[in-house]
C-alpha cells in the first residue's frame, strides 16, 4: 500500500526539479546549489518525518530573500531577480513542513518559475518543461485532492494505477486544448511590456563597414543568422543580400544614404516566395535573397538601392516573406548618379591605378568587366582567412604581394579597380550559401556565411552581381565547399524542431492570428459552395470510414448470434412502441407483456426456450424468430 | 487567479511562451470541469435501511453505490446524509461498493427514504460537485420502545431458566448467528464474526417456553396514544425477545399470538401505522 502523502511528496520534488531546470543557466552557481540542496534536504526531512525549521524561521528567511532581490530589480532586468525570488521561496517551502495548502503553494511557485523562464529564454526546450510540468502538477493536484479528502488514504498498486489512469486524462486533455487555445487567445499588436521579453545577445558576422586589412585573421562563429523557408536552390543562387556599402571613407567602405533613383527588377521569370526567420540582430537590415522584388510581413523602408530596413530593432524574433527573382539585374529608370558610384578611396597605390588605367581605355563596360575578371584570374589569388594582407596599402598587398584574402579583400579590390576604370560599382554585404534541411524545407544560414560581393552598372543602367571571390584559385574547395556543407541527421532533426518551434510558436503574433482567422472564414465559406473534393479528401474519408468499419465490426464480433438477434428485436420494439418502453432492467418477457403484442410474446417464448436453457437457436427457431421480428 | 495573472502577463508582454502556459491552464480548467461532471454521471446509489427502524433511535443504513459506466472508475465519491459521509475512494466501472451510514428518524409511521447527497471533490479540490439523490422508497418507522411496568404481564408458568426452547430469546445460550437487522442491542453484535464476514452479525440466544399474550392497544399503559404505542412496541420486542408469543387486538382486529421475526415486524408495523391509515 502506498500512502497518498508519500506520492504527493515525490510529485513535489519532481515539480521543483522541473521548475529549476529551465532557469539553471541564468542563476548564480551558488544559488543553484542552495536551491538543489533545499530540495534534497526537504526530501530527507519528509523521509524522516522531521520538522526542524519553525514556521517563523522560514517566514523570516523568505522576507530577507524578497528584500534582497527586490533591490536588484531594474528596468533592464526584471526577470532574473524575479526568478531568484521565486526559487528561494520554493526552496524554503521544500524544507518546511508540508500540509495541504503547502503542496498547492509548491505547485503555484513551480508554474510561476516556468513562466519566469519564458522571460529569460525562448528556446524550444521550454515545451518539454511545460509538458512535464503540466503532467506532474495535474497528477499532483489529483493526489492533493485525495489527500485533502482523507489524509490517511493509502492505495494498492492496482488502485493507484486506476487512479493515475483517470488522472492522466487531465494533463492529456489540457495539452490538447492548449494546442487549440494558443491560437485563439486574444493578442495585441503592440504589447506594452515588450521590454520584459528576452533579448538574445545578437552577434552578427555581417558588418556595416568593410575594412580589409584591419585584422590579420578573421574568426568565424557558426551561430545561426537566419533560416529561410524555400525550395532547394542551386548553390550559385544563394546570395542573401542585406546592405550596400557605397562610399569609401579613409580605409573602409561604409553605407550612406544612396542618391535617389528609381530601379526595378525587370525579369519575366516567375517569382520565388520565401519566408525568412532571422534571429535577434542588432542591425536594422532585413536579409533578402538576391534579387528581391517585394517584402511583406514587417514594417520596413526600402532604399533606392533595394536595401530593406526595419522600422524597429530586430531584438525580438519575427519573420517576413519575400518575393525574389534569382540573380536578375536591377534596372534603373532614369539617371544614375555616376559621380557617387565612382567616388574613390582617399589613397590608391600607383600599381593599382596603372592596372585600372589599362582597363579604362577599353571601349565599353562589358569589355572592361571582362578585362577585370581576367586580371583577377591571372593574379592567382587564393581565398584565405589567415595570414591576411594589412597596412595602409592593403589592396596592392592583396593583389600583388600576399595574393590571398577573404571576400572583403576581393570585393573591395574589385570595386576600387572598377571605379578607377570608370565603372559605377558598389559593395554588397550579406551571406552566401547555407545548409539546406530537407526535413523542414528551409535553409539554415550561420554567421560564418557572411559574405561581401560587388555590384556593377552596365551600359544599359542595370546593376549586376559580381562575386570576385569566386575567381580565387581555391574557391571551389574553400568558399564553395565550406558554404554548402551538409548537416548530420541529428543536426537536421534538432534544427528542424527549433525551426518549427520558432515558426509555429515564437513568432506567432496578432497579424498572423488575423490572417489565420481570415483564412478559416474563407475555408468555411468555400465549404458551403459545391466543389469537387480533392484526392486528399477522398483518401481521408476512406481512412475514417475504414476505421469506423473496423471498430463496428470488432464490436459486433464480440456479440453472439443470439445476442445480435435480441438487440435487433429490442431496436424494433423501441422503434415501434417508443424508446421509453426499454430500460436496462427490462427482461424479455416483461417487455413482451408491456407491449402486449402476440408476436412479441411468441418471440420471447421461443427465444427464452432456447437461450435460457443454454443452447443455441436451431435453424427452424431462427427462421420463426426472424419472421416474427418482421411482424413486430 | 493564477491563470488570470499569467494571462495578464501574456497579453501585456506578447510572449507566446506565456500564452502557451495560459492555454494549458485554461485547458486544465476545462478538462477538470468535464472530468468532475463525468465522475458523478452514471452513478446510482441505493439505500438499504434495516428491517427495524425505531422512532428517534439511531440505526445503521447500508448505502450501495453502483458505477454503471463502462470504463471510467468512480473516484473519491462521497454519499452524505446531513453531516455524515461515506467515502468511496475508487469504485471500478460496472461494479458496486457498500458503506454504512447512521440514520435517525423522528416520529413513527411511513417516512420517505432519506435523501442522500452524492458529491465529489475530484479531480481537484477547487470545487465540490454534488447531486441530490431522490428516492421513491418509503420506510416504516416503528414507535420508539418505551419501558413500561410488566408486573401484570409476568408469565406465571415459567420460572426463569426452567426449560429451554429453540425459539429466540435473550436469556438462553447462543442458538445461532444471524444478520443485524437494526433493532438488536449492540451487546449482541458478534464483532469478531462481523469483521471477518464484512457485515454485522448478531448472536441469537435461545429462550424458555412462555404463555401467549395478547396486547390490546387501548388497554396499554400510557397517558396518550403515542405513549401507549411506545409501551406496546417495548412489550412486543421485550416479550418476543424472551420467546413469549404475542398478539395484538384493536376492537375487532386481532392478530393472533405468535413468535418470530416476521410476526414481530407485522406487530410493530401495525403499531407504527396505527391511527395514520
CB–CB of B28 and A134 under 8 A?
Answer: yes
CB–CB of A188 and B124 under 8 A?
Answer: no
**Domain assignment present for A318:** yes
Closest among B255, B224, B222 to B240, alpha carbons compared: B255
The more confident residue out of A281 and B266 is: B266
Please give the pLDDT value at position B15: 80
Find out whether B53 and B59 touch, Cβ atoms under 8 Å. yes
Q: Which triple of cell numbers denotes residue A491? A: 543536426
Q: Given the C-alpha cell 526568478, which residue does it identify?
A: A83
Whether A356 and A335 share a structural domain: yes
Whether A192 and A213 share a structural domain: no
Whether A132 and A173 share a structural domain: yes
Judged against a pLDDT cut of 80, whether residue A267 lies above it is answered with: no
What is the arithmetic mean of pLDDT over A479-500? 70
Please give the pLDDT value at position B120: 92
Judged against a pLDDT cut of 60, whether residue A530 lies above it is answered with: no
Please give the pLDDT value at position A189: 64
Judged against a pLDDT cut of 90, whether residue A48 lies above it is answered with: no
A191 in B contact zone (CB under 8 Å) = yes
Which chain B residues touch A115 with a CB distance below 8 Å? Answer: 6, 9, 18, 21
Q: Which domain holds residue A264?
A: 209-491
Whether B149 and B266 share a structural domain: yes
Q: Which DSSP helix (H) or strand (E) runs through A70?
A: helix A55-70
Please give the pLDDT value at position A135: 94
The per-residue b/e assignment along A545-554, b for 16 or more CB within 10 angstroms, e otherwise, is: eeeeeeeeee
Closest among A14, A66, A84 to A42, alpha carbons compared: A14
pLDDT band at B206 (very low <50, low <70, confident <90, very high): low
pLDDT 10s digits, A241-255: 999 999 998 778 999
Please give the pLDDT value at position B167: 55
Among A172, A196, A220, residue at a domain's last position: A196
Judged against a pLDDT cut of 90, whether residue A131 lies above it is answered with: yes
What is the arithmetic mean of pLDDT over B37-50? 89
Please give the pLDDT value at position B81: 87
Whether A160 and A288 share a structural domain: no
CB–CB of A134 and B16 under 8 A?
Answer: no
Q: Which domain holds residue B270?
A: 144-158+210-277
Q: Please identify among residues 491-520 of chain A the ones whose CB lies closer than 8 Å to any CB of chain B.
A: 505-510
What is the arithmetic mean of pLDDT over B229-255? 88
pLDDT band at A190 (very low <50, low <70, confident <90, very high): low
Whether A437 and A339 share a structural domain: yes
Please give the pLDDT value at position B161: 41
Q: Which of B7, B17, B22, B38 is the best residue to mutate to test the A interface, defined by the most A CB atoms within 10 Å of its own CB?
A: B17
Among A443, A468, A491, residue at a domain's last position: A491
Q: What is the 3-state secondary structure (H, E, C) of B164-216?
A: EEEEEEEEEEEEEEEECCCCCCHHHECHHHHHHHCCCEEEEEEEECCCCEEEE
Cis, bond preceding B123 (omega within 30 deg of 0): yes
Tally of domains within chain B: 4
Tally of domains within chain A: 3
Whether A231 and A319 share a structural domain: yes
Helix A100-117 to helix B2-13 angle (10° resolution) is 10
What is the arithmetic mean of pLDDT over A43-63? 82
What is the arithmetic mean of pLDDT over A159-173? 90
Instruction: Calculate the CA dihedral of residues A166, A170, A172, A173 and round it to 10 degrees.
Output: 120
Whether A229 and A304 share a structural domain: yes
Which chain B residues touch A163 with a CB distance below 8 Å? Answer: 75, 90
Q: Cα–Cα distance between B157 and B165 in angstroms, integer?
A: 14
Find out whether B61 and B48 touch, Cβ atoms under 8 Å. yes
Comparing A35-44, A362-371, A528-537, the range with the smallest average pLDDT is A528-537
* Side-chain-side CA neighbours of residue A282 (13 Å): 10
**With pLDDT > 90 as the criterion, what percentage of chain A qualifies?**
20
pLDDT 10s digits, B211-234: 788 888 888 888 899 999 999 999
Amino acid at each position: 500500500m502506498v500512502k497518498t502523502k508519500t506520492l504527493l511528496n515525490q510529485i513535489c520534488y519532481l515539480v521543483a526539479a522541473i521548475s529549476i531546470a529551465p532557469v539553471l543557466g541564468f542563476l548564480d552557481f551558488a544559488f543553484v546549489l542552495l536551491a538543489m540542496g533545499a530540495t534534497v534536504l526537504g526530501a530527507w526531512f519528509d523521509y524522516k518525518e522531521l520538522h526542524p525549521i519553525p514556521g517563523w524561521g522560514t517566514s523570516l528567511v523568505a522576507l530577507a530573500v524578497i528584500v534582497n532581490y527586490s533591490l536588484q530589480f531594474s528596468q533592464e532586468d526584471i526577470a532574473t531577480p524575479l526568478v531568484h525570488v521565486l526559487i528561494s521561496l520554493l526552496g524554503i517551502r521544500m524544507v518546511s513542513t508540508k500540509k495541504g495548502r503547502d503542496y498547492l503553494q509548491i505547485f503555484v511557485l513551480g508554474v510561476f518559475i516556468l513562466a519566469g523562464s519564458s522571460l529569460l529564454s525562448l528556446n524550444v526546450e521550454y515545451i518539454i518543461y511545460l509538458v512535464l510540468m503540466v503532467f506532474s502538477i495535474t497528477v499532483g493536484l489529483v493526489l492533493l485532492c485525495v489527500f485533502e479528502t482523507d489524509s490517511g488514504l493509502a492505495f494498492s498498486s492496482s488502485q493507484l494505477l486506476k487512479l493515475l489512469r483517470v488522472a492522466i486524462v487531465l494533463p492529456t486533455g489540457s495539452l490538447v486544448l492548449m494546442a487549440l487555445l494558443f491560437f485563439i487567445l486574444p493578442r495585441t499588436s503592440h504589447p506594452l511590456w515588450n521590454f520584459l521579453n528576452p533579448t538574445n545577445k545578437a552577434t552578427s558576422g555581417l558588418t556595416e563597414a568593410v575594412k580589409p586589412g584591419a585584422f590579420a585573421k578573421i574568426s568565424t562563429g557558426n551561430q545561426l543568422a537566419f533560416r529561410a523557408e524555400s525550395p532547394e536552390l542551386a548553390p550559385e543562387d544563394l546570395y542573401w543580400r542585406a546592405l550596400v556599402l557605397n562610399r569609401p571613407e579613409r580605409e573602409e567602405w561604409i553605407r550612406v544614404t544612396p542618391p535617389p533613383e528609381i530601379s526595378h527588377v525587370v525579369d519575366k521569370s516567375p517569382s520565388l516566395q520565401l519566408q525568412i526567420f532571422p534571429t535577434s540582430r542588432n542591425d536594422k537590415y532585413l536579409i533578402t535573397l538576391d534579387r528581391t522584388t517585394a517584402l511583406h510581413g514587417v514594417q520596413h523602408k526600402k532604399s533606392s538601392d533595394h536595401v530593406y530596413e526595419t522600422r524597429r530593432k530586430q531584438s525580438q524574433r519575427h519573420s517576413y516573406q519575400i518575393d525574389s527573382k534569382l540573380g536578375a539585374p536591377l534596372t534603373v529608370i532614369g539617371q544614375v548618379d555616376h559621380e557617387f558610384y565612382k567616388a574613390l578611396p582617399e589613397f590608391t597605390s600607383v600599381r593599382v591605378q596603372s592596372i585600372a588605367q589599362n582597363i579604362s581605355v577599353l571601349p565599353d563596360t562589358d569589355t572592361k568587366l571582362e578585362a577585370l575578371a581576367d586580371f583577377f584570374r591571372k593574379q592567382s589569388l587564393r581565398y584565405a582567412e589567415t595570414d591576411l594582407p594589412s597596412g595602409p596599402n592593403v589592396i596592392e598587398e592583396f593583389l600583388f604581394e600576399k595574393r590571398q584574402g577573404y571576400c572583403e579583400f576581393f570585393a573591395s579590390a574589385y570595386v576600387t579597380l572598377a571605379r578607377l576604370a570608370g565603372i559605377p560599382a558598389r559593395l554588397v554585404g550579406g551571406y552566401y550559401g547555407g545548409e539546406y534541411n530537407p526535413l523542414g524545407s528551409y535553409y539554415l544560414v550561420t554567421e560564418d556565411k557572411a559574405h561581401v560581393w560587388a555590384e556593377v552598372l552596365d551600359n544599359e543602367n542595370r546593376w549586376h552581381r559580381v562575386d570576385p571571390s569566386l575567381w580565387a584559385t581555391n574557391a571551389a574547395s574553400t568558399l564553395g565547399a565550406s558554404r554548402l556543407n551538409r548537416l548530420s541527421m541529428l543536426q537536421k532533426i534538432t534544427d528542424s524542431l527549433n525551426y518549427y518551434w520558432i515558426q509555429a510558436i515564437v513568432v506567432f503574433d496578432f497579424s498572423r492570428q488575423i490572417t489565420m482567422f481570415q483564412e478559416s472564414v474563407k475555408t468555411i465559406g468555400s465549404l458551403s459552395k459545391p466543389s469537387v473534393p480533392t484526392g486528399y479528401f477522398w483518401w481521408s474519408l476512406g481512412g475514417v470510414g475504414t476505421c469506423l468499419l473496423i471498430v463496428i465490426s470488432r464490436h459486433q464480433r464480440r456479440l453472439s448470434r443470439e445476442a445480435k438477434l435480441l438487440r435487433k428485436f429490442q431496436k424494433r420494439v423501441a422503434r415501434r412502441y417508443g424508446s421509453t418502453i426499454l430500460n436496462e432492467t427490462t427482461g424479455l418477457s416483461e417487455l413482451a407483456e408491456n407491449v402486449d403484442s402476440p408476436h412479441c410474446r411468441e418471440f420471447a417464448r421461443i427465444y427464452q426456450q432456447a437461450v435460457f436453457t443454454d443452447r443455441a437457436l436451431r435453424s427452424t427457431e431462427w427462421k420463426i424468430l426472424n419472421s416474427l421480428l418482421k411482424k413486430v | 487567479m493564477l491563470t488570470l495573472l499569467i494571462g495578464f502577463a501574456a497579453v501585456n508582454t506578447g510572449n507566446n511562451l506565456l500564452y502557451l502556459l495560459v492555454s494549458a491552464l485554461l485547458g486544465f480548467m476545462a478538462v477538470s470541469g468535464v472530468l468532475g461532471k463525468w465522475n458523478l454521471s452514471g452513478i446510482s446509489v441505493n439505500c438499504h435501511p434495516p428491517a427495524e427502524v425505531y422512532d428517534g433511535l439511531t440505526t445503521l443504513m447500508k448505502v450501495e453505490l453502483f458505477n454503471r459506466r463502462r470504463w471510467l472508475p468512480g473516484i473519491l465519491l462521497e454519499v452524505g446524509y446531513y453531516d455524515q459521509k461515506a467515502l468511496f475512494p475508487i469504485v471500478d466501472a460496472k461494479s458496486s461498493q457498500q458503506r454504512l451510514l447512521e440514520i435517525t428518524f423522528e416520529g413513527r409511521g411511513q417516512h420517505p427514504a432519506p435523501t442522500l447527497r452524492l458529491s465529489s471533490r475530484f479531480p481537484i479540490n477547487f470545487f465540490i460537485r454534488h447531486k441530490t439523490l431522490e428516492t421513491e422508497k418509503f420506510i416504516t418507522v416503528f414507535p420508539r420502545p418505551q419501558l413500561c411496568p410488566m408486573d401484570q404481564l409476568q408469565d406465571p408458568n415459567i420460572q426463569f431458566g426452567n426449560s429451554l426452547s429453540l425459539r429466540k430469546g435473550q436469556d438462553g445460550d447462543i442458538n445461532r448467528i444471524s444478520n443485524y437487522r437494526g433493532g438488536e442491542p449492540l451487546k449482541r453484535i458478534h464483532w469478531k464474526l462481523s469483521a471477518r464476514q464484512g457485515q454485522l452479525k448478531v448472536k441469537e440466544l435461545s429462550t424458555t417456553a412462555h404463555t401467549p399474550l395478547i396486547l390490546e392497544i387501548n388497554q396499554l399503559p400510557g397517558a396518550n396514544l403515542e405513549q401507549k404505542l411506545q409501551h406496546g412496541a417495548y412489550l412486543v420486542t421485550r416479550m418476543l425477545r424472551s420467546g413469549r408469543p404475542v398478539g395484538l387486538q384493536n376492537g375487532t382486529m386481532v392478530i393472533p399470538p405468535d413468535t418470530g421475526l416476521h410476526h414481530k415486524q407485522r406487530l410493530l408495523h401495525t403499531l407504527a401505522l396505527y391511527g395514520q391509515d
